[in-house]
């Protein structure tokens, strides 16, 4: 049985700001993918809704994923709302079975 986990972040862009949001998500991910225990960190734009973005990360363990949430760079997801780039940011995680 694997101890690996995946976390996802669904981000809905504010009106007229999707391109800028995508660039900011890439910046956040470029920094966080260097986190110890991270196997991958990706940004994808929804093909059916150009205002919706998904960020996904694969972690070697639950502990590695939780530790990354304490990094200052992870605060960048919350800052997307404060800077009005995003209307919503939804976090999820689940084990890889």
Total number of domains constituting the chain: 1
What pLDDT is stored for residue 2 in this prediction?
64
User: Considering the domain boundaries, does residue 37 fall inside one?
Assistant: yes
Taking a C-beta distance cutoff of 8 angstroms, is the pair 32, 57 a contact?
yes
- Between CA 56 and CA 7 the distance in angstroms is 6
User: Considering the domain boundaries, does residue 14 fall inside one?
Assistant: yes
User: Considering the domain boundaries, does residue 91 fall inside one?
Assistant: no
What pLDDT is stored for residue 30 in this prediction?
94
User: Considering the domain boundaries, does residue 92 fall inside one?
Assistant: no
User: Considering the domain boundaries, does residue 97 fall inside one?
Assistant: no
Domain with 37 in it = 5-84
Domain at 65, CATH number: 3.30.70.100
pLDDT digits (tens, 9 = 90+) for 43-68: 999 999 999 999 999 999 999 999 99
What pLDDT is stored for residue 38 in this prediction?
96
pLDDT digits (tens, 9 = 90+) for 8-34: 999 999 999 999 999 999 999 999 999
User: Considering the domain boundaries, does residue 96 fall inside one?
Assistant: no
Residue 1 has pLDDT above 60, yes or no: no
User: Considering the domain boundaries, does residue 67 fall inside one?
Assistant: yes
């Amino acid at each position: 049985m694997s101890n690996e986990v995946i976390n996802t972040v669904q981000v809905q862009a504010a009106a007229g700001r999707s391109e800028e949001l995508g660039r900011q998500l890439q910046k956040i991910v470029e920094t966080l993918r260097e986190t110890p225990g991270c196997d991958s960190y990706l940004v994808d734009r929804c093909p059916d809704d150009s205002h919706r973005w998904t960020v996904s990360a694969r972690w070697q363990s639950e502990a590695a994923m939780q530790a990354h949430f304490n990094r200052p760079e992870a605060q960048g997801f919350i800052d997307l709302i404060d800077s009005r780039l995003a209307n919503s940011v939804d976090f999820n995680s689940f084990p890889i079975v």
